[in-house]
Structures are given as C-alpha cells and as structure tokens.
Amino acid sequence: MTVLVTGGAGFIGSHVVDRLVADGLQVRVLDDLSTGTLKNLAAVRDVIEFVQGDIADPVTVAAAVADCRGVVHLAAVASVEASVREPLRTNRTNLVGTLTVLEAAAAAGAGKVVYASSAAVYGEAARLPITETSPLHPLSPYAADKLAGEHYLAHYQRQGRLDGTAFRFFNVYGPRQDPGSPYSGVISVFLERVGNGQKVTVHGDGSQTRDFVYVGDVVEGIKRALDGQVATAGSTVGDLRVLNLGHGSSTSLLGLLDTVMTVYGRHGEVEVEHAPRRHGAIAHSLADVSALRRELGWAPSPSLAEGPELAGASRGAGR
C-alpha cells in the first residue's frame, strides 16, 4: 500500500512519514520545501519517493497521488498571522491546495484521506473544554480555509468517492519544530531562547492558555485513522468523521515559560518582554478529547512538564 503524505518534509509530516515507513508502508511525499526540509527525511530518504511541487497544481498533485491507496493531507501555511497579512496567498495553499488534493485523490481512487484541520475553526470558545459539537466561529482566513476544507472533504465523503477523517489539531509540539520559523510553535521558541539565555517575548499578558499535544500523539491518531480504527466520531460535518486532536489539558503561556525556566534553571536570568497579542489569536483553548479516547482507544502523552520534549531539554541542560 502506498500512502501520499503532503507536506511530508515538514515538522508533523516528517514524523508521519517515519511512522508509516516503520510500519512497512510505501510512502510518497509531496512538498514544495517552502517551510519543510529534506533534512527531516534523512533517515528514510532512500526508501521513500519524494516529489517537489506545488500542492495547488493539478498536474503535479495527480502525478503524486497516482496508485496511492491513502492520503495524509498536511501541507499548509500553518500561520494565522500569515493568513491575515496575505489571505490570497495562504488561501491558494490552504484551500485551493486542499481541493486540488481531494479531487486528485478521488479521481485516482485513493480511498482514505486524513485531513489536518485546526482548533482555530472554533474561534473564541464560550465554554471550555471544547467539544466537536461546540459552535464554529473562525476568526482568521487560516481558520476559515481549514473549516472550508472539512466541508469539501465531507462533499467527497457523501459522494462515496473518499473515506475521510478530519482531525482538528490543537497546539502541536515536538522535535523538528523550527524555532526560527515564523510559523513555529511557542514551545520550541521558548526552549531555544531560554536555553540560550536570550530575551523572551510573550505576546499578550501571558494569561492566554493553550492545549499542547505532542507530535507523537498526532502521528498515532493519523495512523489509526488510516488503519480504519475510527468507527464514528464526536461530531460530523455532513457525513465526515471529525475529532479533536489535543491533550485535554491547558497551560498558560506564563505557566509554560515558568516550566521552561525551571527545566533550564534560568529563573531570574532571562529577560522577559511583552508585546501586543497577535491578531486573530484566541485567548483560551482546551480540547475535550473524550471522543478521541473512545474512538481511537488510546490516551495522549503525559503532562507537558513530563512529556518527551521538555524532559529531553532537561537532560540536555545539565543544570
């Protein structure tokens, strides 16, 4: 069985590729390398097929999905800020690219499609934790594109042309998340800057909360969906299976920073400044993951402080 992973040279995608290869599947990667890098695929480069190309180009995508029996669609400009600044450019990747992949996958008879949606589709939730049936109120072009992608996948599902699962990712963290990237998550940025004794910028007052989920858990969910272990879901868009993919706990940005400071033993040594809250960013986020546990039969990683990313940083700190 060959599986196409779009965005497979990126942070999450490369971890998905590693897992699929380890499980004995044939893997093809489509990535334009605008944010991903072949370094992320170094360990598997000799056993995968790699296609460099534009996710919104129908000819490129049709060639990439040919003979595949599954698609993991991760390619995106994963930035709320970028979508606010350049909505047309990000729409081309995040929505036109998604529709291009879905049409090509359906035409090729690819069967299963796992789609990376986002918790951003909920907007500023009135009640926490957020369930899959919580009101949807996208506050940015990025969120609107992700939600529209769910509806397009639901369309192909209703036609019987694709078997889809959409995961609404919360804040994913883990190895290979580039702290120098404008799209990077706050954990990797805090780890790098505190580890190097550099000034840390907190956008907003730091009281905003996030649900941080380890990339290994995201990979596990994706693999189980590909394996057909998702029977139903906590919610549907049309007839599409939709699941929150988070940890089920929340951490404030100041709480996260305190944890990172503790890991490196740098309390009082690192300057902290505050900047305006990013446009389109929500104040609080917390996933209800009961449907995830029920449908996939597994639990997320330990708490953030005990998780592999911060634990690894602690071992490397030597302090």
Q: Residues with catalytic annotation?
A: 142
Report the 10 Å Cβ neighbour count for 47. Answer: 11
Query: Among 171, 173, 182, 120, which Cα is nearest to 149's?
Result: 120
Q: Cα angle vertex 59, ends 241, 72, to 5°?
A: 25
Question: Helix, strand or coil for residue 14?
Answer: helix
Q: DSSP 3-state assignment of 114?
A: strand
b/e code 56-95 from CB counts within 10 Å (16+ = b): beeebbbebbeebbbbbbbbbbbbbbbbbeebeebbbbbb
Q: What angle do CA 249, 252, 258 make, to 5 degrees?
A: 110
70-73/49-52 β-pairing: unpaired
